[in-house]
């Protein structure tokens, strides 16, 4: 088989980049830091969107859409929010271009300067809370459970396809509640949805936990996150859910009258996952031959490839293939029959492997003789010859098995790369070596967290939600600690 990808061992970052491009998921655009998401990549994102959207709606949320632009003054309302995002905002200052009077081309019309500059949203809390102010007066207006699918812009220094791009797609939920407890429950409900989606659809095991003060979202009281371990031993934050307390309600003066007639600020949450999940999906499962997409998110679950020497053969194969296709489709499986005569079978095999189609069926002259089909599963690349009348049930079972198998493989990898460490030298060795999740004691101070980050580049990914209390000594300072937290190098 010809090699089109850099191997993971050789250069993991290069492998990732090659794969995203060769599998036709996305490419760099001519706009700095911005990618073009290509049809195959976008189809996977659409599957993700569809599943998540279903989950949000099943838990009472509705979709809405707020403006891309945010007046600059909105940003100054919430102090920590400004501090966090100010340094990576794109700003619109003018509303018109004109012909360059000096020469060729066009220039920004200096007479068309905006009274107040507009920020291109890096996240929508401010515009949304400014709007919610008008929507909420009474406890009868609560809870307000809204999600939006949108694009946002964060002017990052360095970008990588899907993992960090200047513009990215995401969903952001913004909810308002009458009580603190209800808002906290909402925050947790969402982080559970994210974890459920990651594990059951993306087949990617995650750890749910809270963030330390340093890693917390700007303006949040508590940030919950799901953290996943990639094949290179680095952690990827894959979704966050924030309990915002009354911070934004106070900043935007959103009050309501409760049942007893008392006026109070509302309690808020916000939460999001982005196209970064695409990067997570790629890195969680794929191998040196290409993508491995879990069947539940694969735009095409089964591809059928004919092998023939002449038109007569093709006609007979097509008849069988179409029959299989419609039978499979009637059970809800998505199938593509690729009978293009412009590519050879070998070329197609390699191509669909690269693109991660979970199951491949090949039908050739031998199969016409024997009433068989060759079945290949992408995750293990194993081949099997089966009878044509067994295809439907076998493929159905196979898709379930692949989904489970890649989850189990990822789970095992996570387990094999999880360490409990009490010695700082050992800690450093692991971080500098193959990486992984390291459970270690920490004295709870930001100072220690920063020192460790400085010395090792590892950060506290989260404090797991189901953490067992355990007495110990901080790995860095030796001060007493009551539980272990998870360290890792992060994307």
Partner RNA sequence: CGGGGUGUAGCGCAGCCCGGUAGCGCGCGUCGUUCGGGACGACGAGGUCGUGGGUUCAAAUCCCGUCACCCCGACCA
Instruction: Please name which of 361, 186, 373, 325 lies closest in space to residue 268, comparing C-alpha atoms.
Output: 186
Nearest to 32 by CA among 153, 150, 117, 120: 153
Shortest Cβ 216–RNA spacing (Å): 9
Q: Which residues contact 332 (CB under 8 A, 6 or more apart)?
A: none
Query: What is the end-to-end Cα distance of the chain in Å, rounded?
Result: 32
Chosen residue from 307, 391, 430, 462 binding RNA by CB under 7 A:
307
Number of residues that bind RNA (CB under 7 A): 60
Q: Which of 163, 183, 244, 284 binds RNA (CB under 7 A)?
A: 163
Residues 90-149 binding RNA (CB under 7 A) are none
Site for RNA in 409-468 (CB under 7 A): 457
**In the complex, what is the shortest distance from the CB of residue 156 to RNA, in angstroms, rounded to a whole number?**
5
Which position among 78, 125, 287, 351 is part of the footprint of RNA (CB under 7 A)? 351
The distance of closest approach from Cβ of residue 309 to RNA in the complex, given in angstroms and rounded to an integer, is 5
Q: Should residue 347 be labelled a site residue for RNA when binding is judged by CB under 7 A?
A: yes
- Angle at CA 95, nearest 5°, toward 94 and 97? 90
Q: Which stretch binds RNA (CB under 7 A): 103-111, 158-166, 193-201, 407-415?
A: 158-166
CA–CA separation, 105 vs 125, rounded Å? 38
In this chain, which stretch among 131-139, 261-269, 338-346, 480-488 interacts with RNA, using CB under 7 A?
338-346
- Nearest CA to 150 out of 135, 172, 134 is that of 172
* Residue 154 makes contact with RNA by CB under 7 A: yes
H or E segment to which residue 172 belongs? strand 167-177
* CA–CA dist 52, 234 (Å, integer): 25
Among 16, 33, 171, 421, binds RNA (CB under 7 A): 33
> Quick check: 26 and 35 in contact, CB under 8 A?
yes
Q: Is the distance from CB of 278 to CB of 293 less than 8 angstroms?
A: no
Q: Nearer Cβ to RNA, position 99 or 371? A: 371
Is residue 364 near RNA by the rule CB under 7 A? yes
Q: Among candidates 196, 190, 203, which has minimal Cα distance to 240?
A: 190
For residues 225-264, which are near RNA according to CB under 7 A? 237-238, 240
| Residue whose C-alpha is closest to residue 91's, from 61, 58, 113 | 113
Residues that bind RNA (CB under 7 A): 1-2, 4, 13, 22, 28, 32-33, 84, 87-88, 154, 156-160, 163-166, 168, 215, 217, 237-238, 240, 274-276, 289, 307-310, 341, 343-347, 349-351, 353-354, 362-368, 374, 376, 381, 383, 457, 490-491
């Amino acid at each position: 088989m010809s090699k089109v990808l850099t191997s993971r061992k050789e250069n993991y970052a290069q492998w990732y980049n090659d794969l995203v491009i060769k599998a036709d998921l996305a490419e760099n655009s001519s706009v700095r830091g911005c990618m073009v998401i290509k049809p195959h990549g976008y189809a996977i994102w659409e599957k993700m969107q569809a599943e998540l959207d279903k989950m949000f709606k099943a838990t009472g949320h509705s979709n809405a859409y707020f403006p891309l632009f945010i007046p600059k003054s909105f940003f100054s309302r919430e102090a920590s929010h400004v501090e966090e995002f100010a340094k990576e905002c794109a700003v619109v200052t003018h509303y018109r271009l004109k012909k360059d009077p000096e020469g060729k081309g066009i220039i920004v019309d200096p007479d068309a300067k905006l009274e107040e500059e507009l920020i291109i949203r890096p996240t929508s809390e401010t515009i949304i809370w400014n709007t919610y102010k008008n929507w909420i007066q009474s406890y009868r207006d609560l809870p307000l459970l809204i999600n939006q699918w949108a694009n946002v812009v964060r002017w990052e220094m360095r970008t990588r396809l899907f993992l960090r791009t200047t513009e990215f797609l995401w969903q952001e939920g913004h909810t308002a509640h009458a009580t603190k407890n209800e808002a906290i429950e909402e925050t947790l409900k969402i982080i559970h949805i994210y974890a459920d989606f990651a594990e059951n659809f993306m087949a990617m095991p995650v750890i749910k936990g809270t963030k330390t003060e340093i890693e917390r979202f700007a303006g949040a009281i508590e940030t919950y996150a799901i953290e996943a371990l990639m094949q290179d031993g680095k952690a990827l934050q894959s979704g966050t859910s924030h309990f915002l307390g009354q911070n934004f309600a106070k900043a935007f003066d959103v009050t309501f009258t409760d049942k007893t007639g008392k006026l109070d600020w509302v309690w808020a949450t916000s939460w999001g996952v982005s196209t970064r999940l695409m990067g997570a999906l790629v890195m969680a499962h794929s191998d040196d031959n290409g993508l491995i997409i879990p069947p539940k998110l694969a735009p095409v679950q089964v591809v059928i490839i004919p092998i023939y020497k002449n038109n007569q053969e093709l006609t007979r194969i097509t008849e069988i293939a179409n029959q299989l296709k419609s039978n499979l489709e009637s059970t809800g499986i998505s199938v593509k029959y690729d009978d293009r005569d412009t590519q050879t079978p070998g070329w197609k095999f390699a191509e669909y492997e690269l693109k991660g189609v979970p199951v491949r069926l090949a039908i050739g002259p031998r199969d016409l003789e024997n009433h068989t089909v060759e079945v290949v599963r992408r995750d293990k690349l194993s081949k099997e010859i089966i009878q044509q009348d067994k295809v439907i049930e076998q493929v159905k079972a196979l898709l379930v098995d692949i989904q489970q198998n890649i989850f189990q493989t990822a789970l095992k990898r996570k387990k094999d790369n999880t360490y409990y460490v009490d010695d700082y030298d050992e800690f450093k060795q692991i971080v500098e070596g193959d990486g992984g999740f390291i459970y270690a004691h920490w004295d709870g101070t930001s100072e220690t967290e920063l020192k460790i980050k400085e010395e090792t580049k590892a950060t506290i990914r989260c404090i797991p939600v189901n953490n067992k209390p355990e007495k110990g000594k901080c790995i860095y300072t030796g001060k007493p600690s009551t539980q272990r937290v998870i360290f890792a190098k992060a994307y």
